[in-house]
């Protein structure tokens, strides 16, 4: 029962974070074309005011619950090495942990990334994580 509850929380938290990245990269970028720079800045800041209250905690919850889930499903490594499931899960975990560390440092510690300042790379990581989660069980 605990596993199912934590997995449900993980999925909802990941949807919140991933949904923000989808909206930011696919829709908010298009607003620039319809409004002047000042209006765009005002619209984006209005949106981000609410995002800052929900998305960073959701990212941290997604990473922490993901770490718990890994401990439950990773399994032992055989003498031949890791299975394809374990390799894909490890890659997925690496990307998720990277996102979590980047988000935590940026939001809670005020450390801005030196490179990859936009949300394009995190967006591509989330898309990659989604695909990895679908191919892990094959």
Residues 28-53 have a mean pLDDT of 86
Residues 9-26 have a mean pLDDT of 92
Q: Which residue has the tokens 């990895």?
A: 132
pTM listed for this prediction: 0.87
What's the confidence (pLDDT) of residue 125?
A: 93
The SS3 call for residue 87 is helix
Asked whether the CA dihedral 32, 102, 70, 92 is positive or negative, the reply is: positive
Residues 60-88 have a mean pLDDT of 95
- Residues 90-123 pLDDT 10s: 999 999 999 999 989 888 888 887 666 778 889 9
Structural contact between residues 68 and 6, judged by C-beta atoms closer than 8 angstroms: yes
The string of DSSP letters for 55-77 reads HHHHHHHHHHHHHHHHHHH--PP
């Amino acid at each position: 029962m605990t596993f199912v509850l934590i997995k449900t929380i993980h999925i909802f938290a990941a949807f919140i974070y991933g949904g923000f990245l989808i909206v930011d990269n696919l829709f908010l970028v298009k607003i620039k074309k319809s409004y002047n720079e000042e209006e765009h800045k005002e619209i984006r800041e209005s949106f981000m005011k609410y995002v800052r209250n929900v998305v960073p905690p959701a990212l941290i919850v997604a990473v922490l619950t993901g770490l718990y889930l890994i401990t439950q499903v990773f399994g032992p490594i055989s003498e031949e090495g890791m299975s394809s499931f374990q390799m894909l899960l490890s890659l997925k975990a690496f990307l998720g942990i990277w996102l979590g560390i980047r988000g935590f440092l940026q939001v809670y510690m005020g450390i801005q990334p030196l490179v990859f300042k936009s949300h394009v790379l995190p967006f591509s990581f989330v898309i990659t994580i989604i695909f990895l989660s679908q191919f892990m069980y094959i």
